[in-house]
Amino acid sequence: AALTLLCGSAAAVVVWKWLSKRQIQKKMEEAQRTRDEGAKKMAKAVQQFREQVPHDQTDAILSLPLLELTGRLREGCLSPKTVLYTYLEKALAVTQQTNCVRHFIPECEEQLQEIQQQKEKGLLYGIPISIKDHISHKGHLVTCGLVHCLGAPVQEDSVLVKVLKKQGAIPFAMTNVPQSLFNYDCSNPIFGQTLNPLNHQKSPGGSSGGEGALIAGGGSILGIGSDIGGSIRLPSSFCGLCGLKPTAERLSVWHTRLLNVDVGSHPNPVPCALGPMARDVDSLALCMKALLCEEMFWLDPTVPPIPFNEGVYSSSTPLRVGYYDTDGYFPLPPCMRRAVQETKGALQAAGHQLVPFSPPRIHYVMNELFLKTFFADGGRAWLDMFTGDIVDPNLKPQVNSCKIPRLGKKLLALILKPLVKFKNVTTLSPCRSVKEMWNHHHQIEVYRSEFITRWRALQLDVVLCPVLGPAFTTGYPGKLLTAISSTMLYNVLNFPAGVVPVSTVTEADEEELKLYQGCCDDPWDRTLKEAVAGAVGMPVAVQCVALPWQEELCLRLMKEVETLS
């Protein structure tokens, strides 16, 4: 009888697991069908428009920089309808190649009518804009690439979307993201892998990877991403775009979802920042100018009411620029260090003062401050998100390392310590008490103070430094979470930081890569070498940084770098 009961229980478990998987599969298929139907409807609308308006202006419209396009729309030389359908047509082609759009926004046609009735033309009048998956748009899902988020659509636009609409922009697409957003590749089990439009073997980066791919492919002129460890800057580096991570509180994050909670209601010592991504620095500046308006300050009173300072951005006063080409934690490929050195030389020749700068204690920041913020509970909250879900293959290394019991992690840390200099999440120990967590928050404040003191002692205006790149081959980012030290540092500090492409990978860079040994030629260094190989012709970028609330100064350095390169 006991054996029969045991067999019956085992059979019931098998059936229950099969039914659960089937349920997940059905939800995923439904989401994919909805996306495909939406794309077909949009393609039909574009076709109907094309029957009335020929293609003769398409290339001219797509090649216009944002500042010129806004000018022509405001003057009435171009109609918002022509511009919207031109970008929709291009976005359909780009997503067919790269799988970057998660869902088109059919309400863009309503917004088109709405802006034509506005009394005043906003700064982004008639500009089609793309937004990252987890930024709320009324009537649409916020999925974060997770099956359990495929429930009810959101009931309200996020503050940022409301402000963009008020400024005359037309949100037309929501872009793909990695599952849970905690990866700098761009794939999830529901909507699949997004590819880099410049090379389909390569990743577009993440977690704002759909944005990176769509803009780099020419299917969007301006996008909004988010950044909590490099998620705007890494796709910008991988795809050859300009991207800005502002000070986290400079732009509203209300009604933006992260780890299945509203970002605005979730205090975090390393906060999430929303910011623009585009083809040039002037576009980022215009977007910031449009967003930093009375409407945003009224809708979200927690945002400091600081309008965009055009004087700082437009200034030609020589800058005092700190620089470094390695942080000493995860040595970057030779081409990324070359980019910093060449940019340093160009800035110096243009009359700016360049001062060597060395960020303090990066090993401590990476292992103790950044990773411990996200895995303060040993990764349990993050793992809970995958309950009743399928884990994306690219996330399995991180998921599996979080599942190791605490004692196992301690033993692994002892074994790995002399070999790999702590380049693995496996070695993390969680905060064991509330007191320890408060102390962790305090240590972040202490580090910020130490960093600012060093910056002030050198009387720096801004800092020039490297960013991770060139683009990784798909599947590799999940194996190298801790390679993001170059971007992650400025999330811990909550400094504005932006990325500008300055060069491309040469045959000489590829040859030099063969000699790369990284920090100690350990498995992580060898994996990085594999990840970036075969990137000749791919973009090479640098990172520009300013002190908190100095976005305009950060953009000023970015513009200077862009002009000189």
pLDDT in tens, 143-200: 999 999 998 899 999 999 999 999 999 999 999 999 999 999 999 999 999 999 999 9
Spatial neighbors of 26 by CB under 8 A, at least 6 apart, are none
Which residues are registered as beta bridge partners of 230?
none
Kindly report the pTM of this predicted structure.
0.95
Query: What is the rounded CA–CA span in Å between residue 163 and residue 439?
Result: 37
Is 231 a catalytic site residue? yes
Sequence-ordered alpha helix ranges (H) in 458-550: 485-492, 507-513, 523-532
Residue 210 one-letter amino acid:
G
Pairing assessment for the beta strands 242-245 and 497-504 based on DSSP bridges: antiparallel
pLDDT digits (tens, 9 = 90+) for 476-491: 999 998 899 999 999 9
Average pLDDT, stretch 441-464? 97
Catalytic one among 158, 231, 252, 485? 231
395 labeled part of a ligand binding site? no
The helix (H) or strand (E) run that includes residue 345 is: helix 334-349
Average pLDDT, stretch 273-293? 98
228 labeled part of a ligand binding site? yes
Taking CA atoms, 433 is separated from 382, 444, 481, 499, 552, in Å, by 18, 17, 26, 38, 40
Confidence of residue 410 (pLDDT cuts 50, 70, 90): low
Confidence of residue 258 (pLDDT cuts 50, 70, 90): low
pLDDT digits (tens, 9 = 90+) for 317-352: 999 999 999 998 989 999 999 999 999 999 999 999
Is 207 a catalytic site residue? yes
Query: What is the rounded CA–CA span in Å between residue 543 and residue 563?
Result: 15
Confidence of residue 267 (pLDDT cuts 50, 70, 90): low
Taking CA atoms, 195 is separated from 202, 226, 408, 436, in Å, by 6, 19, 36, 41
115 labeled part of a ligand binding site? no
Confidence of residue 6 (pLDDT cuts 50, 70, 90): confident
Average pLDDT, stretch 40-54? 93
The pLDDT value given to residue 559:
98
pLDDT of 13 strictly over 90 = no
79 labeled part of a ligand binding site? no
Catalytic one among 130, 136, 207, 283? 207
Average pLDDT, stretch 487-506? 98
Mean of pLDDT over the chain: 92
Residue among 506, 471, 489, 38 nearest 212 (CA): 471
Average pLDDT, stretch 545-550? 98
Range with the poorest average pLDDT among 161-170, 179-188, 268-277, 408-417: 408-417
pLDDT of 443 strictly over 70 = yes
Query: What is the rounded CA–CA span in Å between residue 161 and residue 171?
Result: 8
Please tell me which residue, 10 or 309, carries the higher pLDDT value: 309
362 labeled part of a ligand binding site? no
221 labeled part of a ligand binding site? no
The pLDDT value given to residue 402:
81
For each of the domains in the chain, give its residue range(s) and CATH number, in order of start.
25-308 (3.90.1300.10), 315-376+431-564 (3.90.1300.10), 380-426 (no CATH)
pLDDT digits (tens, 9 = 90+) for 79-136: 999 999 999 999 999 999 999 999 999 999 999 999 999 989 999 999 999 999 999 9
Catalytic one among 90, 121, 130, 132? 132
Evaluate the CA torsion angle 336, 340, 341, 343 in order and state its sign.
positive
Confidence of residue 419 (pLDDT cuts 50, 70, 90): low
Q: What is the dihedral of CA 380, 385, 387, 390, to 10 degrees?
A: -120
The pLDDT value given to residue 378:
72
Is 132 a catalytic site residue? yes
pLDDT of 422 strictly over 50 = no
Please tell me which residue, 439 or 128, carries the higher pLDDT value: 128
CA 328 from centroid of its chain's CA atoms: 24
